[in-house]
Amino acid sequence: MIVDRFKLYKRAVVLLSILFVISVFLDFTLMLNFFLALIFFVFLYLYYTKSERKSKVFMGFLLAFFIGEMYSFAMRLVHYFIEPYFRGTPYFEFEKYVGNMTYIIAYVCLVVYMAGGFNFNQLIKRFKYHLLVLVVFNVYAIVTLNRMMLEAEFFEAYSLAFLFESIYNSCILLVLSFSLLNYTYHETKASFLLLLGSMCIVFSEMVQVAYFFIPANSEVMELSHYYITTGHILHTIYSLLLIAGFYFIFRYILVRVAIRVI
């Protein structure tokens, strides 16, 4: 019965992932965040009910991502049905910051979760050169991203949007760095799955940066009288990377609850 229950979890995740991918290819954007939210709800329920050693920080990561996706879904509904009645109100000016704050919290929780498994004295002693390379890389990446944002027409220096985006990008890079350190430090199957999941999620976020610098409506090719735009290609790549990252997170959770995954 227990095995069948875990098969049910896996089938639910597979079904939701298929629905998500279908929605991406059909450009059915209204339901994308809803399917992602349901996937994270399954993750959260599985980890909370089956893990003997629960981490409140890791649960915070799952919960924050779930709330972020549900919020994005709700906002899509608002924009679709009642935006004309509230357009120009102060809330709509800050809507994107409210949504992105949940993802920042999720990434911070994930970084804290991985950092909690380190003995920092041992980490510095064993991997001081790795740490130096990662610090230099992160500083260079942040400076480069900030310079690119300032060159974009819709970012003003030291504006709220610029500062918020800088914090967001910093959190993404920290997730990538800490997941790499986490695998290098532990060298376990669980840490490798978490590294793969983090890499896919981080790279999906990086793909979104291309929206700022590549015309999203530029036509790339025509297929049966249907024009495939750059924006559609970028969104497809982003979505596939994201769902791949969630797959590895799911495998990580199964390992943490001591379930054999074939």
Instruction: Tell me the pLDDT tens digit for each residue of 172-187.
Output: 999 999 999 999 999 9
Whole-model pTM: value is: 0.86
Helix (H) or strand (E) run with residue 84 in it = helix 83-86
Q: What share of the chain is helix, strand, coil (3-state, %, to 5)?
A: 80, 5, 15
44 near 58, Cβ under 8 Å?
Answer: no
In a domain, 174, yes or no: yes
- Domain tally, the chain: 1
Give the structural domain span for 157: 2-256
Digit-coded pLDDT (tens) for 79-116: 777 665 555 555 555 666 777 889 999 999 999 999 99
Cα distances from 63 to residues 39, 67, 70, in angstroms, run 11, 6, 11
In a domain, 221, yes or no: yes
What are the structure tokens assigned to 194, written together? 């978490």
What are the structure tokens assigned to 203, written together? 């790279």
Sign for the pseudo-dihedral over CA of 69, 86, 24, 208: negative
In a domain, 262, yes or no: no
| Residue percentage of the chain with pLDDT more than 90 | 39
* Mean pLDDT for the stretch of residues 23-32: 82
Rounded to 5 degrees, φ, ψ at 119 are: -95, 105
In a domain, 151, yes or no: yes
In a domain, 191, yes or no: yes
Digit-coded pLDDT (tens) for 240-259: 999 999 999 999 998 888 65
In a domain, 150, yes or no: yes
In a domain, 206, yes or no: yes
What confidence score (pLDDT) does residue 224 get? 46
* Mean pLDDT for the stretch of residues 211-222: 54
In a domain, 261, yes or no: no
* Mean pLDDT for the stretch of residues 223-252: 79
